[in-house]
Amino acid sequence: MTISDVAAASTPISQRIPSTRHYAMTPPAHFAVEYAINPWMDTSTAVDVERALRQWNTLRQTYLDLGHTVDLVEPVAGLPDMVYAANGGLIVNGVAIVARFKFPQRDGESSAYAEWMTAMGHTPRYTKHLNEGQGDLLAVGGILLAGTGFRTDEGAHAEIAQLTGLQVVTLHLVDPRFYHLDTALAVLDGTTIAYYPPAFTEASRAQLAQLFPDAIEVGSADAYALGLNVVSDGKHVVLPAAATGFAEQLRQAGFDPIGVDLSELLKGGGSVKCCTLEVHP
């Protein structure tokens, strides 16, 4: 599939069809806000680990109820952000790429996720440049949308294109609140995305509008609830419960929104998608 194929094919609204997915999640057993590496994090905020675990379990159960597979990754003490499994890497086209984190506080997660990949039968691959896995690398219809500006280096985009054999579209993020691509853009199916335009440069917005003429543009209230941090199976869209405006837009577009409260994990600057690493076939 090439970039122009993605733009040409769009799914009729009446035909939203779910497909069974394979996810990996890491329980927030050691969750904390001990450092602040994004504007959502405030080290003076108290964190309730029991509540985080309950909310996380509801998310996991939601996927299981939808018929998806959820693998569990063993959490490691001293790595409070490990619950944000999306950042651990990218598995697509049979290639498993391990994250190279920007901040030293998250360094240790790379080996934990590499071990998990190895246990799954993959050979973990590494990039020379920084890459924060599916936080910034989103597969859609046989191509990859790749964010840069805060975490993942643009240099990693080329390395990842090489490693996966997929075409990569570089998108520039400009607002520190939306520091990972998955906080500003949601993949809903192979041809449909939703995004928050102010999070991108003018040029990236133009590129998105051209590639995805049916894209849903999300307003500030939903974006600031991390409403775009969703997981979709092509029909059911699991999203932060507070993003009620976006939920309505999804309904209008023929999707089935399922709100989940992850307010405890929002304290670390993440929500539904951040907690979910999709293993693409």
Catalytic positions are 180, 274
Binds ligand ARG (CB under 6 A): choice among 38, 55, 62, 204? 38
Question: Taking a C-beta distance cutoff of 8 angstroms, is the pair 69, 206 a contact?
Answer: no
Alpha-carbon dihedral 220, 269, 264, 46, rounded to 10 degrees: -120
Q: 169 - beta bridge partners?
A: 145
Q: Of 11-19, 158-166, 234-242, 263-271, which part binds ligand ARG (CB under 6 A)? A: 263-271
Which tokens in the block code for residue 51?
């509540």
Judged by CB under 6 A, the chain residues 109 through 168 that form the site for ligand ARG are 135
Binds ligand ARG (CB under 6 A): choice among 63, 84, 150, 195? 84
Judged by CB under 6 A, the chain residues 91 through 120 that form the site for ligand ARG are 106
Give yes or no for residue 83 binding ligand ARG (CB under 6 A): no
Binds ligand ARG (CB under 6 A): choice among 59, 73, 86, 91? 86
Give yes or no for residue 27 binding ligand ARG (CB under 6 A): no
Residue whose CB is less far from ligand ARG, 124 or 135: 135
Give yes or no for residue 56 binding ligand ARG (CB under 6 A): no
Q: Write the DSSP string, 102-158.
A: SSGGGTHHHHHHHHHHHHTT--EE--SS-B-GGGTEEEETTEEEEEESSSS-HHHHH
Q: How far apart are CA 262 and CA 271, in angstroms?
A: 6
Q: How far apart are CA 263 and CA 240, in angstroms?
A: 8
Q: Of 82-90, 164-172, 190-198, 235-243, which part binds ligand ARG (CB under 6 A)? A: 82-90
Judged by CB under 6 A, the chain residues 201 through 260 that form the site for ligand ARG are none
Give yes or no for residue 88 binding ligand ARG (CB under 6 A): no
Instruction: Give the amino acid at 89.
Output: G
CB atoms < 10 A from the CB of 219, how many? 15
- Size, binding site for ligand ARG by CB under 6 A: 16
Residues that bind ligand ARG (CB under 6 A): 37-38, 41, 81, 84, 86-87, 106, 135, 180, 182-183, 268-270, 274
